[in-house]
A and B are shown apart, each in its own frame.
Chain A
């Protein structure tokens, strides 16, 4: 995935570059609006992370001029949680919006969601280690044993399995499994994960569902 980061704060830009590079992205950085506009228009990126407040040319202007020539997906990032800003960003053609402070996991999840939009997921059987999920029959088995899950547990497991190896934040999980779109802190997800873990991991030797403290959860065979 080729990503352009337009961000004037160097420390923030640097950690984003490192984080995304380590996830296998190729990352370009622009520290002001003018450079950002040049790169965005003349290079082809899979997605652009665009700060709203920039020296030279602000994020909204950059976005408008970019949209005149290209449809590269754009995530706007701003320190101001003003509704007008959000509306203005989305009206000018931003595909998503994040308010500082945001977590890196959150940003990465949104970048993936934006670039994945076009991809079709038509698998009917998901496998993670010895765990098998039959999406048609809605059956989960591990080492031949059938595991009974509630509807939401099945949804949660499917999400983790589809995006195995990827850390999913609690916010992302709440949005995609329960359709709860708010940045609130509750321990609902922790409890739900604990219950799912009791069913799919507890009776077996090798755990598949891992907690990454402070970031989220991931399903993978280690």
Chain B
């Protein structure tokens, strides 16, 4: 997979594109606004000049008014930005400017919108006004043209500056954005450095949450929680290894010691035979522990019950109870089974789990009491639970009930036929059927059971 581009680069790019768009939009608006203003200015200028001349032409009573008007026009023209035409159909004295007749025919520019025309290679805004006759002059048409070139030049300069500003601004935003993002992402680098320090030798190391910005605090919390879980599993594995070594050490020590004592002098065959039997018993115990541990390891690696068949769990429970008949009678305990449900299970595994549960219940139930076994169907699962009267188990012990080698009664480490693995196996069998094991203990009644998923 291609590695995605750096966050800083991507954000900087996004910032600059956004900035460029923003700048371009405002530049376009500014340009339109200034163009409008300039055009209004041109119209106003033309209007002012017309008003100047109109005053003279309408109020002037001098007999050489035509000459005066020409002089005034000459004066006004000197600014080089305006041009004037006069046209009179009858009196040539009232004519001024080249092609005045054609212009007077064409130009209607009045009000706010002058006509735009190209005259002598210059773009001009033209306005015309028809002045009726006065006692000293015939009717004339006055035309004023304002040269647009200087305006257009400043507009072009303005536009160029706007463009430069937009591009420059966008670049500045990109650079600042890139730097800003890099700066804001520094906590991530710090997080990475802190995470790097977590290891088997430094399992207590966690991310410093208060030092993280809000956005990263959640990630940090999740990371810390994941490390906590791994840490717990690691710690459990360590105790487990210690437990295994401890469990195996006792029978091994017995085996070695017994054999050495037996071989230290000649002994009759019967005595040797007795020793071998005793050794065999210890070895058998070791074999069972190893086989159970392999079973648990397999379940933990995610092995699922493979050879499943549809079965009535109450029927399998009754069969297991029958198997325990002699033991129950010896203990003076009875079992009452109620409820039923069918599920697809691996029957031999279920027998194993039920045997362990029953064994556990018999061990803790007082003589003369009754074990109540209940099979219930729930939403998507079936539950089997065995309840027996017993001393109430405190919650901290209850939580560890399914741990390997955990025994509620620590003073009897080796009396247990299951070597302290019985309930761990119940949990494993439940997991192999997509379920889980559970335990409850209150008011002198302890309930231990498991559920299997109906898939």
Binding site for B on A (CB under 8 A): 81-83, 87, 99, 101, 103, 150, 152, 174, 178-188, 191-192, 194-195, 212-215
Contacts and interface: CB of A to CB of B under 8 A. Distances in A.
Contacts of B349: 182
A182 B326 contact: no
B356 interface: yes
B325 A152 contact: yes
B287 A184 contact: no
Contact of A182 (B277, B285, B352): B352
A81 B349 CA distance: 15
A88 to B, nearest CB: 13
Interface stretch (B15-23, B151-159, B288-296, B387-395): B288-296
A81 B294 contact: yes
Nearest to A84: B306
Closest 7 CB pairs of A and B: A214-B280, A213-B277, A182-B352, A192-B326, A191-B326, A181-B348, A214-B281
Contact of B351 (A150, A182, A192, A212): A182
A188 to B, nearest CB: 5
A54 to B, nearest CB: 21
A3 B313 CA distance: 41
9 contacts: A174-B323, A182-B349, A184-B355, A185-B419, A186-B418, A187-B327, A191-B330, A195-B326, A195-B329
B81 interface: no
B335 to A, nearest CB: 14
Interface in B23-69: none
Q: Which of A179, A184, A194, A214 has the most CB of B within 10 A?
A: A184
B248 interface: no
B327 A103 contact: no
A104 B417 CA distance: 21
Nearest to A193: B326
A214 B325 CA distance: 23
Nearest to B422: A184
Given A184-B356, A185-B418, A103 B287 contact: yes
A210 to B, nearest CB: 12
Given A182-B348, A213-B277, A83 B325 contact: no
Contact of A183 (B283, B291, B329, B419): B291
Nearest to B330: A191
Contacts of A87: 306
A35 B389 CA distance: 61
B303 interface: yes
Contact of B327 (A181, A183, A184, A191): A191
Interface residues of B, number: 39
A181 B319 CA distance: 12
B295 A81 contact: yes
Given A83-B306, A214-B284, A178 B278 contact: no
Contact of A186 (B278, B291, B322, B355): B355
Given A101-B290, A185-B417, A186-B355, A178 B323 contact: yes
Contacts of B326: 188, 191-192, 194-195
Nearest to A191: B326
B137 to A, nearest CB: 120
Contacts of A212: 277
A183 B348 CA distance: 9
Nearest to A175: B348
Given A83-B306, A195-B326, A103 B352 contact: no
A99 B425 CA distance: 18
B352 A184 contact: yes
B287 A101 contact: yes
B326 to A, nearest CB: 4
Contacts of A103: 284, 287
A214 B283 contact: yes
Contacts of A194: 326
B359 interface: yes
Given A182-B349, A182-B355, A215-B280, A188 B418 contact: no
Nearest to A156: B326
A187 B417 contact: yes
B298 interface: yes
Given A180-B320, A183-B291, A213 B327 contact: no
Interface in B265-309: 277-281, 283-285, 287-288, 290-291, 294-295, 298, 303, 306
Max count, chain B CB within 10 A of own CB: residue among A99, A192, A194: A192
Contacts of B277: 212-214
Contacts of B419: 185
Nearest to A99: B291
Interface string B310-354: 000000000110111111011000000000000000011101100
